[in-house]
Amino acid sequence: MSSGEKMNVLMVSTALQGHINPILKLAKRFIQKGLHVTIITTEMVRDRMLNYNNDYDGTINQEQKIQFEFFSDGLTLEFDRNKDKDKFISTLRTIGSKNLSNLIQNLTTINGHKFYTCMIVDPLLPWAIDIAIDHNIPTALLWIQPCALYLISYHYHNNIDLFNNLEDPNEIIQLPGLPLLEVKDLPSYTFPYGAPRTKQVMMELFHAAKNTKWVFAISNYDLEEEIIDYMASSIPIYPIGPLVSQFMLGENESIGINMNMWEAEDSCIEWLDKKSCSSVIYISFGSVIVLSQEQVNNIAIALKNSDKEFLWVIKPSEKGSEDEIPELPLGFLEETKGKGLVVKWCNQEKVLMHHAVACFMTHCGWNSLLETIVAGVPVIGYPKWGDQPTNAKIIVKKFQNGVVLNIGEDGVASVEEIVRCIKEVMEGLSSEKMKKRALKMKEESRNALEDGGSSNNNIDQFINDLKNLDH
């Protein structure tokens, strides 16, 4: 491109909090480097932001060089996308993809002087890579799971013979750069009985990814050094994270845009302010997972029996959703009054950075794990599906910054097991070792995005690549 031509990057995301957050945080990094960014997502996000986010008024902030655009996924806002995922994914792929393509065409027509230098795509939208190609826009994939998961998925979808019997959950799997895994530790979309829609999306993704110029990871080199080095020659992936809010890295949050789609309860920070250092268990299972009644009951009893202070996030069901949200055991709130606080949603990054938080009980989603790594807080892993079991194994075998619950075949951890893990992380013989490891990883993750850091260098190299593209 010519030296006087401004670089404009499109970033396309699904309407999931765990996908939009890293997109926005990478956009802020790009803006700091002088790029203009347009974030495109579905109208569902705009509706949620208007309902729950006081910082968003539906306008574009030109001074900050960031722009938001929205397209219809082909369904009404009232449609329950969680209940009928098959129809949602099918409609998004057919009607939604046409709407996205038309939006990009309109943006190009309206802003005739504006050339989109690159389009960065959410992994749940593999067909968006084809749309970018149709519009002659070079593409990048933003991988929002560990690099280790990219390696596993790449081998699986390219039929590389590193897997033995996937029917046996206890079969040992050995992959380069990874600890020994059992089949049950693999991402659930590799299982023969895995959800067909997820398997289909992942198959389409790794087919479409062959047409991308870059694959970016939201972690950093120090976290996954062996994996990244192994992949460098044949399937390179470039870590550009950790993609967390700037204040977690000790930086000024110069661009104050956020895309929280639920209203955070600020009272929890005031509550934490009154607690002593490293005294509170923080419990949250992200924006998607809904626990069973038995899981909630066992966590509640374990918290009461452990006699520890806790902050517990239990997200209500979304508008129009038919998900049944489990109830807390009768009398639990009264019996734990003063020791515990239950909220519907919170600013997780602020909570994890609070001096009162001792550990984080999490579903092991990669965004949440990166946030707890940057905060230097040990983990109690309670994985459910997707990449979470693999992430949990990495916590124990590679990161060594926490423990993982032993979970029954029904997906439920017993009261005794939860109590055991709480004690091990907060007061056991290995608790100090976990804390030291967590603090070391915190330092490494911060260093990655400083001048001269590995992730910062990868971002700079990407921008140089854009400047040198031959169109």
Domain boundaries, the chain: 8-259+449-467, 267-346+355-445
Confidence of residue 234 (pLDDT cuts 50, 70, 90): confident
Chain centre to alpha carbon of residue 42: 18
Cis amide leading into 242 (omega within 30): yes
Confidence of residue 283 (pLDDT cuts 50, 70, 90): very high
pLDDT for the residue numbered 258:
57
Do residues 422 and 308 make contact, with C-beta atoms less than 8 angstroms apart?
Answer: yes
Residue among 223, 186, 407, 369 at smallest CA distance from 284: 369
Beta bridge partners of 116: 8
How does pLDDT run across 310-356, given as a tens digit for each residue?
999 998 866 555 567 889 999 999 999 989 999 999 999 999 999 99
Residue among 226, 220, 223, 341 at smallest CA distance from 272: 341
For 358, the 3-state DSSP assignment is: strand
Do residues 52 and 23 make contact, with C-beta atoms less than 8 angstroms apart?
Answer: no
DSSP class of residue 161 equals S
CA 370 – CA 297 distance, rounded (Å)? 28
How does pLDDT run across 80-91, given as a tens digit for each residue?
877 787 888 889
The torsion angles phi and psi of 238, rounded to 5 degrees, stand at -110, 110
Do residues 361 and 281 make contact, with C-beta atoms less than 8 angstroms apart?
Answer: yes
pLDDT for the residue numbered 82:
72
Q: Are the folds of 8-259+449-467 and 267-346+355-445 the same? A: yes
Read off the pLDDT of each residue in 399-424 and give the average, rounded to a whole number. 96
Q: Which two tokens stand for residue 186?
A: 């693999």
Read off the pLDDT of each residue in 259-270 and give the average, rounded to a whole number. 77
How does pLDDT run across 176-217, given as a tens digit for each residue?
888 888 888 899 888 877 778 888 889 999 999 999 999 999
Q: Domain 267-346+355-445 maps to which CATH number in 3.20.20.140, 3.40.50.2000, 3.30.300.180, 3.40.630.30?
A: 3.40.50.2000
pLDDT at residue 231 is higher than 70: yes
pLDDT for the residue numbered 51:
63
pLDDT for the residue numbered 66:
82
Neighbours of 292 (CB within 10 A): 13
pLDDT at residue 436 is higher than 90: yes
CA 214 – CA 354 distance, rounded (Å)? 36
How does pLDDT run across 51-82, given as a tens digit for each residue?
655 555 544 444 456 889 999 999 888 888 77
The model's pTM is 0.91
Read off the pLDDT of each residue in 1-25 and give the average, rounded to a whole number. 82
C-alpha separations of 69 from 17, 116, 169 in Å: 17, 14, 44
Do residues 178 and 169 make contact, with C-beta atoms less than 8 angstroms apart?
Answer: no
Neighbours of 176 (CB within 10 A): 12
CA 235 – CA 359 distance, rounded (Å)? 35
Do residues 262 and 52 make contact, with C-beta atoms less than 8 angstroms apart?
Answer: yes
CA 80 – CA 258 distance, rounded (Å)? 25
pLDDT for the residue numbered 62:
44
Assign a CATH topology to domain 8-259+449-467. Answer: Rossmann fold (3.40.50)
The torsion angles phi and psi of 355, rounded to 5 degrees, stand at -60, -20
Chain centre to alpha carbon of residue 221: 17
